[in-house]
A and B are shown apart, each in its own frame.
Chain A
Amino acid sequence: MYKKIIVGLISFLFLCGLSACAVKKEVVVSKLDELFANDFRDIKIPEIDKIKKVGMKKSFPYVNFDKVWESAILVLMQQGIIVKASKEEGIITAITVPPLTVFIEENDNIVTVYLYWMEELCRRIDKPQEILIKLTPEIKKQMTENFFGQLATQVYVSQKWKYLDR
């Protein structure tokens, strides 16, 4: 009886040991992981022409560039890490889910904001054809509308709700 218990115990411990040793972690690394590793030094911002061509846009009348710029900063800094911001170029890149780049320009007193989702950063390095975060056109549209909605609220907040300090 004792022997059986002991043999059972030994085999149990042996199996535990084996199973603990046998676990191997497979790690999926994306371009974004690499960027995190080098503190975003190598981040490549898409060209403005590409952002304007591929990205989605929304115009903001009755406000100036500075107001939209500030609002975009305030909205994006609450959604992710800002890794690029240049007021002169009108570009902000933020690491959200997925990362995005915003281009702001002013023409004829109308400020237009272009939004470009940087899905390419979510590609696996070992299998570039595989994207870790796939966005369907519907989801992308919804996310874009959400962003522009938040931006519009932030842009017009001081005019709509004057008692708010922010």
Chain B
Amino acid sequence: MRFKIYIIILIGMINYSLIGLVNYSYARKELIYEEIFGTYRFLYSVPNETKKPFAAKIFGGIIGAAILSHAKYYLPTSNYPMNIVKVFDTSYEKIWNSILKVVEILKGKVIVKDKSSGIIVFVYPEKIKWKYLKEYYYKYYSEKEYFRKWHFFYSYPYREKYVIIKPKAVFNPIDSIKFPIYLNLYIKKETNKTKIYLTYFIPFLDVPCNKYIDIDFLKMLENILKKI
């Protein structure tokens, strides 16, 4: 009889855990969104890990806590993370208006707009597929290091202090996450030409995924220019 009770309790616990895991995966997605678009989405939001209970340290809150507790947002420190120059045989006015149209289509929020100095800065949400981020890590980190980053989830108490959000992005089971992308644009008038300098930032992720983002922007701009 007592054995049956144990079995029932065990099944109950497994059920509870499974439900928890399913809920957790949804909750985690929400948390990521909250981090990105919510109150503590950006720089220097460093959760204080010393205040976590010992049990949480051992079991790591089952991966999630490990990931989230190490979220630290920062801007890329590289001096030249991105530098795109594109020359158009179009007038300054046309380029300026087209860029504003692209901003509108992207549902971006303009931060700086100064036509006399040719500067537009805006932010818009963009999806980045995590497989690209994975490619990035394969490219920029050695296999050993990649393995170490992977491995530390399974040896949580012994992990090194990672102060970056990278593991979260790399091991994120969600197919894609929307990141806010800040685009700095400097438009320069030249004789019969207009030059566009473009840089962008994903403030909490130092991923130079230019080929997935800015080219789309330029493509959109080119399409609009063709229509005008």
Q: A and B from one assembly?
A: yes
A63: interface (CB < 8 Å): no
Instruction: Tell which of A28-36, A52-60, A111-119, A155-163 binds the partner.
Output: A28-36
Do A23 and B44 touch (CB < 8 A)?
no
- Quote the shortest CB–CB distance from A87 to chain B (angstroms): 4
- Interface status of B163 (Cβ within 8 A of chain A): no
B13: which of A10, A20, A80, A166 is its contact (CB, 8 Å)?
Answer: A10
Q: Is the CB of A19 within 8 A of B61?
A: yes
Q: Which residue of A lies closest to B37 (CB)?
A: A37
> Number of contact residues on B: which range applies?
35 or more
Decide if B215 is an interface residue (CB 8 Å cutoff).
no
Can you list 29 A-B contacts (CB < 8 A)? A6-B7, A13-B17, A17-B17, A19-B58, A20-B56, A22-B55, A23-B69, A27-B45, A28-B45, A33-B40, A70-B186, A73-B117, A73-B119, A73-B186, A77-B186, A78-B199, A81-B75, A81-B182, A81-B184, A82-B112, A84-B112, A85-B117, A86-B114, A87-B116, A95-B203, A97-B74, A97-B77, A132-B44, A150-B79
Q: Is the CB of B59 within 8 A of A37?
A: no
Measured in the bound complex, the distance between the Cα atoms of B106 and A47 in whole Å is 35
Q: Are B55 and A15 in contact, CB atoms less than 8 angstroms apart?
A: yes
3 nearest CB pairs, A to B: A77-B184, A19-B55, A87-B117
Also in contact, A28 and B46, with CB within 8 A (given A37-B41, A87-B116): yes
Which B residues have a C-beta under 8 Å from some C-beta of A?
2-3, 6-7, 9-10, 13-14, 16-17, 20, 24, 39-48, 51-53, 55-56, 58-62, 64-65, 68-69, 74-75, 77, 79-83, 85, 109, 111-112, 114, 116-117, 119, 121, 123, 182, 184, 186, 188, 197, 199, 201, 203
Set of chain A residues within 8 Å of B199, measured between Cβ atoms:
77-78
Q: A23-B52, A83-B112 are in contact. Are A78 and B117 (CB under 8 A)?
A: no
- Separation in Å of the B133 CB from the closest CB of chain A? 21
Would you call A82 and B184 a contact (CB within 8 A)?
yes
Alpha-carbon distance A48/B45, docked complex (angstroms): 30
For chain A, the bracket of interface size reads 35 or more
CA distance A61 to B58 in the complex (A): 61
Determine whether A144 belongs to the interface, using a CB cutoff of 8 Å to chain B: no
A7-B17 in contact (CB<8A):
no
Whether A78 contacts B82 by the Cβ 8 Å rule is yes
Indicate if A25 sits at the interface (CB-CB under 8 A).
yes
Given A3-B2, A36-B43, 10 more pairs with CB closer than 8 A: A13-B16, A19-B58, A23-B56, A23-B61, A24-B52, A25-B47, A77-B186, A81-B203, A82-B184, A150-B79
Q: Check A25/B46 contact, CB under 8 A, given A14-B13, A16-B62, A83-B112.
A: no
Q: Which of chain B's residues have a CB closer than 8 A to the CB of A166?
A: 85
Chain B residues, Cβ within 8 Å of A40? 111
Point out the residues of chain B lying under 8 angstroms from A18, CB to CB: 55
